[in-house]
Amino acid sequence: MTPCLRFAGANPSMPVADWRRHTAQLSLLVSLISFGGSAAAQIRDGVVLLYHHVAADTPAATSVRPETFAAHLDFLQREGYAVVALDDVVAAAIGESSRLPPKAVALTFDDGYRSIYTTALPLIEARGWPFTVFVSTDAIDRGYANFMSWDELRELEARGGRIANHGTAHGHLIRREPGESAAAWRTRVRGDIVSAQARLDAELAHPSPYFAYPYGEFDTALERIVADLDLVAFGQQSGAIGPGAILTQLARYPMATGYDSLASFAEKLRTRALPVRVLEPESRVLAAGAAAPALRIELLDGPYRRDGLRCYVAGQEPAAITWSGDIATIRAREPLGGGRHKFNCTAPSSDAPGVYYWYSHLWIQPRDDGTWYAE
Ligand SMILES: [Zn+2]
């Protein structure tokens, strides 16, 4: 299995915990590849949805209106989706895909806003479905308006929810303070995550060993910290999760007003994980003023049409793709500029009409003057 050897060789400095996980995922991939099509037919993916506020009076970019949220839940029920615990999706990612029923979906909420308690919880509880809320513990400890209290989080746990780690201060964790050494950065960021986990452990009965990156921002160094802490981590890049998914960069579909129609919701739910291996570059963080980036990925076997691969970049023409065997080099048409960006790559299923295999690649870039964007 030369692709796996190449993958192993590309990460010589990977820490042990990380390495063990990747190795387990690799051996699974090897067995799937060896069995070919018959095993592929048994692969099950799960989709994780990400909400923030369920309210009409909060910012559109992080809100879904209550009636839209209710319509999403009605759709899941009507169309026979299985709303599962995040544990089951993670199990599928590490190869226990038999735990995952067909049409599996998990519900997550970031930040711990009060509308989750007042508005989302009753709607979910009425259906008896599990869900997970990632909280930044400072907001709860300080009793910020619009956030749940620890009492409410305990009640939410008792009524079917799980609570997980979203850091202490909701910082941009990949950013270095002025003059901060790599070691000092590691200590500070590790401390933020560990302190949040300690608060969850102290206040709650069953906190989950999962982490959601604030703003969905991660880089390789942050992934190593999270892996060393034995946390499984979720981003905000879109896509489904299937066997072989990297446990420090699990995808979720963010839901926001304007992008939450039932048609778009249904399309996201139908997606499958596009099995790719990222070859280059190692870092997702681009230099200030960087030229249009190129991403080199290897596409692994699966029941999708490789010739139908398209990669979309917001505000630009679709990226240019050049092929060398199974390896695609995907280049944006224009520089990305300061901010968070994604290449959203899709390929149509070869046997299921309307189903797309999906891989979303995150890029992070400071503004041209080297300073960071506000949010
Ligand atoms: Zn957040």
CA 194 / ligand 1 centre spacing (Å)? 17
Percentage, residues of the chain above pLDDT 70: 88
Q: How many CB atoms lie within 10 A of CB 301?
A: 15
CA 375 / ligand 1 centre spacing (Å)? 11
Q: How confident is the model at residue 332 (pLDDT cuts 50, 70, 90)?
A: very high
Residue 11, pLDDT above cutoff 90: no
CA 2 / ligand 1 centre spacing (Å)? 39
Residue type, 343: F
Q: How confident is the model at residue 27 (pLDDT cuts 50, 70, 90)?
A: very low
End-to-end alpha-carbon separation of the chain, Å? 42
Average confidence (pLDDT) over 303-307: 96
CA 163 / ligand 1 centre spacing (Å)? 13
CA 148 / ligand 1 centre spacing (Å)? 14
Q: Which long-range contacts (CB under 8 A, 24 or more apart) does 73-76 make?
A: 73/123, 73/124, 73/127, 73/129, 75/262, 75/265, 75/266, 76/105, 76/269
CA 113 / ligand 1 centre spacing (Å)? 10
Phi, psi dihedrals of residue 303, rounded to the nearest 5°: -85, 60
For the CA atoms of the chain, what is the radius of gyration?
20
Q: Which of 326, 319, 280 is nearest to 302 (CA)?
A: 326
Residue 2, pLDDT above cutoff 80: no
CA 32 / ligand 1 centre spacing (Å)? 35
CA 293 / ligand 1 centre spacing (Å)? 27
Q: pLDDT digit string (tens) for 115-172?
A: 999 999 999 999 999 999 999 999 999 999 999 999 999 999 999 999 999 999 999 9
Residue matched to tokens 């950013």 = 175
Q: pLDDT digit string (tens) for 237-266?
A: 999 999 889 999 999 999 999 888 999 999
Q: Is 199 exposed, middle or buried (0-12, 13-18, 19+ CB in 10 A)?
A: buried
CA 153 / ligand 1 centre spacing (Å)? 16
Residue matched to tokens 């029941």 = 303
CA 247 / ligand 1 centre spacing (Å)? 19
pLDDT computed for residue 90 by the predictor: 95
Average confidence (pLDDT) over 205-211: 96
Measured CA to CA, the distance from residue 107 to residue 125 in angstroms comes to 12
Contact 239, 270 (CB under 8 A): no
